[in-house]
Amino acid sequence: MSEQWKKLDLRAQPGHFARRVHQLAVALFTQEVADLGLTPVQYSALQTLCAQPGIDQKTLATTIGYDTSTIGGVIDRLEARGLVIRNISPLDRRARLITPTDKGEQMLEAVVPRMLKSQQRLLAPLAPAERAEFMRLMKLLIDANAELSNTPAKE
């Protein structure tokens, strides 16, 4: 067995840092939004549904870069809280179109300032130019590897 692993420093691996940044982003979001009971994925879904009411589950999953086979559970939880409703599509009876309720729109109004604060806190250690560069580089990586994820390139 090769002992190449002995020479590897975990702290020099980009995937390790990506996971750690994700942990930070989720922790900061949770600190700001905990009392509203929304997860980052639920927020992304609700924000997208408010911006594009009446889209189907597959479109929602693709738009937020989430797995199409598990987006149903996210929608189930939002629907159970009265934040969204599902209706049968008039064009395809197998498809369910998702629309935010008034309560869902009110939730989004309440969560957006807190979400923005969590984003500011995440980037606070960086200078403004570094923030822009960090965002540019993350988008570059996501777009270059779009075929490996559910997110369309060039958002």
pLDDT (tens digit, 9 = 90+) per residue, 63-108? 998 988 899 999 999 999 999 999 988 888 888 899 999 999 999 9
pLDDT (tens digit, 9 = 90+) per residue, 18-71? 999 999 999 999 999 999 999 999 999 999 999 999 999 999 999 998 988 899
Q: Return the exposure string of 100-135: e unless at least 16 CB atoms fall within 10 Å of the residue's CB, then b.
A: bbeebeebbeebeebbeebeebbeeeeeeeebeeee
Set out the domains of the chain in order of their start, with CATH numbers. 12-119 (1.10.10.10)
pLDDT value at residue 155: 47
Q: pTM of the prediction?
A: 0.87
Taking alpha carbons only, the member of 73, 77, 75 closest to residue 86 is 75
In angstroms, the CA 83 to CA 103 distance is: 5
